[in-house]
Amino acid sequence: MSVEAPLQDSSGTTLKRTPIDVTFQPKKNTVLVSHGRPPWYGEDGHRISDAFVVGIAGGSGSGKTHVARQIVRALGSIPSVVILSQDSFYKHHTPEELALAHASAFDFDHPDSIDMPLFAACLADLKACQQSNIPVYSFTTHQRLEEPKYLYGAAIIIAEGIMALQDPGLRELYDLKLFVQCDSDLMLARRLKRDVAERGRSVDGILEQYLRYVKPAYDNFVLPSQRHADVIVPGSNNTVAIDLICTHIRGKLQERSTHFRQKMAVPHLYASPAIPECKVQDLNLTILPQTRQLQGIFTILRSKATTSQDFIFFVDRLSTLLMEFALQFLPYAPNTVITPMEVAFTGKVLSAKYVCGVSILRSGGALERGFRRVLNDVPVGSLLVQSNTSDAEPLMLHVMLPVCVRKRHMAEETWVFLLDAQIGTAAAAFMAIRILLDHGVKPEHIIFVTFLVARGGGISVLRRAFPGVTIVTAGVDDIMQEGWIEGSQGQGKPQGRQVWAMLPGLGQIGQSPSVAFRKTYGNYAPRGPLLPVDIRQNAWISRS
């Protein structure tokens, strides 16, 4: 059984998504994504569940990493997993300690050799659904590398290491504690094979270190920690144990799941009759002045007869106008300059320390060209949020954020332009804002820029959850229409998927970077059955 390849490497570069077998992955600290992460928050925007953390301890060469990968493989269709190795958290070594390490005379198996507070802090951040920057340790140079590894978005965290159960602070973070038991001779054989092949060690050095440090540490520290384990797992032939563990994890994930997109899409169907209808002025939106030019642009964009070339041109034009208008919400400070005529002039200068853009793919890409025209020297990241075909809930599939957001101490001082073509159900916008908050970005530093907002959609829920976020839009449509797109999703899967369309709207304009798809629907029936919308028969107009 296979899962998809890691979405990012240690530098944050996007990797190609190709099927690989988890059993043969060379890296321990790896993000594995099978089908995306569902919401981990409630309608109020607050986190309702932590990531599920599994701690795996055992002797060196007992098979901890193998057990972790067996669990990942047996879980099958899971949101996302991080296998976090304690080996990455060895302390920074002095020149004297480096000399001992290269001579196989340094004790790597003592608890003091591991930075337990840093390990606990990183694990606590990941458990709380926040980003973390994990150190990368090189066993060839016996030193930490300068560039840490960025991790975020795991629903399941597997922390493995010889001392994983030794520290009380770490044990408090685990939801499930495992100890891998294995014969000493087999552990030694595995250690010899691994260290020679992967760490460039000599056989004599490995044996000397094993007898001097590894075996005593196992007897004194590692083996006694098994009393804290919930399950003792054999180091080999452990299929039954793995199945029991996976059944337990699946049950816990099911308990933590949440579904509320339907309620966000059509909130008026769930609202109390005593609650008045939401009005535009109650939504705290910043709307672009409705000039004749803007009305003309919308007329062209909404027209079915508009050519592809004109549609793309006016999308870029509208995104530029929106970005120019949104710049007023950045902080500015007084600044005095001297003109060529030697006259002092006091104006304004941007005082934000960091500014970046983040587009919600795929439709957010339609605003990127306008963003670049206005701010051509700031980094731009992306979030891929798509709907689950089974229940239409949003799934976080990909996160690639600028460095100023990935590092928490910088994120707190960063202003982010969040780009999406429209806010309909607000499910993607909700998830994107929650992701930025998890990274430490302040709500008042988020400026959401969009072409259209549906007054009858999820915008009211979004505003209640995140009142500090600034939303800049070019227009407001009144209607959200529920429908169904027919189409095969594969053998054994439901035919088609549920959709909500804004009317009159701009269509699904973000299906690809250079193509805009338009959609026309039948009569609006907000409280009726799903509308029979067929992607193969109804008017999808490709603009290429």
- Interhelix angle 292-302/308-326, rounded to 10 degrees, is 140
Q: Tell me the CATH architecture of domain 3-256.
A: 3-Layer(aba) Sandwich (3.40)
pLDDT digits (tens, 9 = 90+) for 46-65: 888 899 999 999 988 888 88
Q: What is the pLDDT of residue 279?
A: 72
> pTM score, two decimals?
0.80
Task: Check whether the bond before 504 is cis (ω within 30° of 0).
Answer: yes
Indicate the pLDDT class of residue 25, thresholds 50, 70 and 90.
Answer: very low
pLDDT at residue 146 in the model: 85
Check whether 377 has a pLDDT greater than 80. Answer: yes
- Residue 75's contacts (CB-CB under 8 Å, 6 or more residues apart) are 81, 156, 246, 249, 250
What is the predicted pLDDT for the residue at 267? 57
Alpha carbon separation from 357 to 384, 474, 537 (Å, rounded): 14, 18, 38
Structure tokens at 132: 């973390």
Residue 164 or 523, more confident? 164
154 close to 126: Cβ distance less than 8 angstroms: yes
Strands 52-58 and 176-181: parallel
Neighbours of 216 (CB within 10 A): 14
- Above 60 in pLDDT, residue 399? yes
Integer distance in angstroms from the first to the last C-alpha of the chain? 38
- Residue, of 180 and 202, whose pLDDT is higher: 180
- pLDDT reported for residue 24: 32
Which one of 188-192, 323-327, 383-387, 394-398 scores highest in mean pLDDT? Answer: 323-327
Higher local confidence (pLDDT), 200 or 240:
240
* pLDDT-derived band at 487, boundaries 50, 70, 90: low
Q: How far apart are CA 71 and CA 74, in angstroms?
A: 5
Output the average pLDDT for the chain.
80
> Looking at residue 200, what is its pLDDT?
72
Return the pLDDT at 28.
56
pLDDT of residue 285: 93
H or E segment and range at residue 357: strand 354-361
Q: Which residues contact 271 (CB under 8 A, 6 or more apart)?
A: none
Residue 528's Cβ-side half-sphere holds a number of Cα atoms within 13 Å equal to 10
pLDDT more than 90, % of the chain: 40
Cis amide bond preceding 17, omega within 30: no
Give residue 371's identity as a one-letter amino acid code.
Answer: F
Would you state the pLDDT for residue 22?
A: 33
| Confidence band of 69 (pLDDT split at 50, 70, 90) | confident
Residues of the chain with CATH 3.40.50.2020: 282-331+353-478
Q: What is the pLDDT of residues 303-332, one digit of tens each?
A: 888 898 999 999 999 999 999 999 999 999
Q: CATH 3.40.50.300 in the chain: give the residue spans.
A: 3-256
Dig out the tokens for 33 from the structure: 């994504």
CATH architecture for the domain at 282-331+353-478: 3-Layer(aba) Sandwich (3.40)
Whether 14 has a pLDDT exceeding 50, the answer reads: no
DSSP 192-250: HHHHHHHS---HHHHHHHIIIIIHHHIIIIIGGGGGG-SEEEESSS-HHHHHHHHHHHH
pLDDT, residue 486, reads 58
Cα distances from 329 to residues 320, 325, 410, 469, in angstroms, run 16, 9, 19, 11
